[in-house]
Amino acid sequence: MSTLLALARIRAARQGRAEPLRQVRHYHLVDEPLVLVTAAMAGEAAAPLACMVGTDRHRPVLLTVSQPRNRDQQQAFYAQLAAVVLPYIRRRENALQQLPTHTGKAARQRCADAPQLIVANRATVEHLRLVGRSLRFQGSREPGTTQAPVALLGRWLTFFTEQADYPGSCLLLPMTRQLAAHWASGQSALEDESLAALLAWIEPPSGLSGAEAALRTENPVEFPPAGPATDPTFDLVELEPRMRAHRHALAAGDHTSANRSAAKLERALDAQLRPTWNQLWSALALLRAIPPAARCARRWDDDRDQFTRHSLHLMHGGPPQPVHDHPVEAARRLAALERASHMFEDEQALDDPFVLAERRAAGAAFAGIVISREPDRQARSPKGRRVLRPRFTVRTDDPPPLTRDQDLLNPHRPRATARIHQITHEQSGTHLIIMEITSGMGTPSRPAADAVPELGERVCYTASPSQWAQPEFPSRDQTPWTHSHPVPPAPARDLDPHDADPA
């Protein structure tokens, strides 16, 4: 956390209202996201209780289970969920764009749009991860058979939850993270995990301070939790008696009574999920009101590539995601995560003065005034050629930057990168930084016009995102034995069907 962020939280508490942290929105929002609110059975690994899902605020689909421990009912529930989620995905799989040959890349296809799932919080993402894990191997033992919708749902949910690990990815967005990224509340990060509390800080009802409004949301009777965990008193008072009545009626063969208790159960669950459903749409509206960042589109391109890739993988009959990654795969994933994280941070700083300011507060960027320049400075390259290496000096009030040996970029002159050559401390507490342009400066005979900032110009330098190249990894058959599994994991064996006791 930067001092700036700490200060923002304090200010938010002072003014009784959340403090905006961003000038632009750094997450792409599609026109028609699929919103999901889930409730799960307490005490079970991933037993569904209910789900409210849909793309229309006014017409949510409510799915419920009256006997969550019953495997058949779970299966029926997921089949219904698949019937909502899969067509939503399929519509986007079918619209393809042709990408022309690009530097080093062959011509390829990319889906014109990608699905976007919106959920309340991180806990829901983790729940969907488990659901994906519990479903994706279903029926995968008989090769050649068509994928059952439920297994397919499992594979997609696994895909979405894996993508959600990548900073900046917008395929599955937990709303509390989104809001907390764009606003500082006057409470702790732990309390920010509550969607209702966070919204209370961002838009407190009139007459209430953010703290007061957030306090009100802690009453689970008035503000049902956003899931997947339900309130224990709800379980005890509303759910358990109705489930019992339903069970007894079924056992007695009394279908009228069973239907009635099922309907009551459904109403109770509807009342639990609907507030969160509405909050999610309000939160979406809040986010949409912020103009999108310029580099959002590039990241969404990445998201669409990932989506296209997985879609093709499924189409070609590829296997479900394994339980444990192959070591090379794991290393690749780790590198990709790291790269996504750096890229996202660097890109945000270029798009958003708020982020840039945070970086300056943390010593990851600096701003100042150009006090001298040598635009024609030349040096010898390692091969002995004469090259243009302009230098200039900046005086800054910011703390001495920690970003040595890194390509830096001035958001206002994005074509040239520069590196810090030298930092000297001045008596007044300011610093003099000698910068050297390392790319985009042109040649001695044809220097680029706008590479070197002017005398007296105010400049700002932050890390350049383009330096995060994708590292190369050996292919599977070239992996040294030290890094390969002694036995390739067979996912099917990990899923013992007799783990599952019929309820």
Partner 1 sequence: MGQLRQALRTAMVERDAARASGLRRELRHAETLWQDKAAALGQGEGAVLTAAGPPAVDRAVTALLPTREQVHQVLSLLEVAAAPKLITAVHGAFFPGELPASRLASMRRDEERSYRSAPNARPYYVCPALTADRLAPARALLTVSTWPLERRIVGAHSPRVDFLTATTKIATAIEWFDRRGPHWLADARARADRLLRSFAVSIPGALAPPELSGHAPPLDPRQVAEAAEAELAVHVAVDRAEREQAAAWARQRLPETERLFGTRLQMIRNDASSH
Partner 2 sequence: MNPTVNSTTAARLDALRGGQPPVNHTARTLVGLSANPGCSRRALLDACGADKGKVARQAGYPWPFGQSPFALSRGNAFERQVKEHGGARLLALLRESLGLPIEQVAYIPLESVGDNANRELRYRRTRQVLAHAARGGSSPGILYDHPMLRLAVGGQLVYLEPDVIAFKIGDKFHVVEIKSFPVIDRQADGTQVAAATRQAAVYVIALRELFADAGLDPDLVAASIFLVTPKNFGNTPIATLIDARKQIAMMTTQLARMDRIETLVKLLPAQVSFDLAVDAAGVARRPQAQLAGDLRQVPARYRPECLDHCELAGLCRAEARQDDSLDVYGPGVADVLGGIGTAQTALALAEGQRIPSADQTDVARALRHAERLRTELAAGAELAGGAA
Q: Which does 459 bind (CB under 5 to 8 A by kind): partner 1, partner 2, none?
A: partner 2
Bridge partner list, 64: 50
105 binds partner 1 (CB under 8 A): no
Binding at 251: pick from partner 1, partner 2, none (beta carbon under 5-8 Å per type): partner 1
Among residues 162, 193, 238, 398, the one that binds partner 1 under rule CB under 8 A: 238
Site of interaction with partner 2 (CB under 8 A): 1-7, 9-11, 13-14, 41-46, 130, 133-134, 186-191, 211, 220, 230, 232-233, 235-236, 239-240, 323-324, 353-354, 356-357, 360-361, 366-369, 371, 394-399, 411-412, 430, 458-460, 494-496, 498-501
For residue 199, the partner it binds in partner 1, partner 2, none, with Cβ less than 5 to 8 A by kind, is none
- 451 neighbors 390 (Cβ within 8 angstroms): yes
Decide if residue 497 touches partner 1 (CB under 8 A): yes
Contact between residue 433 and residue 368 where contact means Cβ atoms under 8 Å apart: yes
Q: d(Cα 346, Cα 406) in Å, to the nearest integer?
A: 12
487 binds partner 1 (CB under 8 A): no
Residue closer to partner 1 by CB (options 104, 502) is: 502
Residue type, 402: L
Tokens 């959600």, residue? 164
Q: How far is the CB of 350 from partner 1 (least distance, A)?
A: 47
Choose the contact partner of 252 out of partner 1, partner 2, none; CB within 5 to 8 A by kind.
partner 1
* Closest distance to partner 1 from the beta carbon of 223 (Å): 11
Query: Do 228 and 39 touch, CB atoms closer than 8 A?
Result: yes
When the beta carbons of 247 and 339 are compared against partner 1, the nearer one is 247
User: Which C-beta is closer to partner 2: that of 146 or that of 428?
Assistant: 428
Q: How far is the CB of 232 from partner 2 (least distance, A)?
A: 4
Q: Does 249 bind partner 1 (CB under 8 A)?
A: yes
| CA torsion through residues 82, 83, 84, 88, sign | positive
Which residue lies nearer to partner 1 by CB, 376 or 494?
494
Q: How far is the CB of 284 from partner 2 (least distance, A)?
A: 26
Mutual orientation of helices 296-315 and 71-93 as an angle, nearest 10°? 120
325's tokens: 């990654």
Amino acid 10 reads I
Question: 185 to 224, contacts with partner 1 by CB under 8 A?
Answer: 219-221
Q: Which of 248, 288, 386, 415 binds partner 1 (CB under 8 A)?
A: 248
Is residue 201 within 8 A of residue 180, CB to CB? The reply is no
One-letter identity of residue 181: A
CB of 221 to partner 1, least distance (A): 5
For residue 54, give Cα distances in angstroms to 60, 106, 174, 328, 334.
Answer: 5, 37, 16, 38, 33
Among 72, 254, 338, 450, binds partner 1 (CB under 8 A): 254
Contact status, residue 123 vs residue 173, Cβ threshold 8 Å: no
Binding to partner 1 by CB under 8 A, coded x per residue (else -) over 141-160, reads x-------------------
**39 φ/ψ angles, rounded to the nearest 5 degrees:** -130, 135
* Biggest CA pair distance of the chain: 94
The per-residue DSSP string of 160-229 comes to HHHHTTSTT--SEEEHHHHHHHHEE-SS-TTGGG-HHHHHHHHSPPTT--HHHHHHHTT-TTTS---SSS
One of 1, 83, 112, 237 touching partner 1 (CB under 8 A)? 237
Separation of alpha carbons 464 and 403, rounded Å: 11
**Residues 6 or more apart whose Cβ sits within 8 Å of residue 412:** 459, 460
Which one among 192, 231, 345, 346 touches partner 1, defined by CB under 8 A?
A: 231
Of 261 and 417, the one with the shorter C-beta distance to partner 1 is 261
- Segment 113-142, which members bind partner 1 (CB under 8 A)? 141
CA distance linking residue 116 with residue 445, whole number of Å: 50
- Residues that contact partner 1, how many (by CB under 8 A): 29
Chain residues in the site for partner 1 (CB under 8 A): 141, 219-221, 231, 233-234, 236-238, 245, 248-249, 251-254, 256-257, 260, 490, 492-498, 502
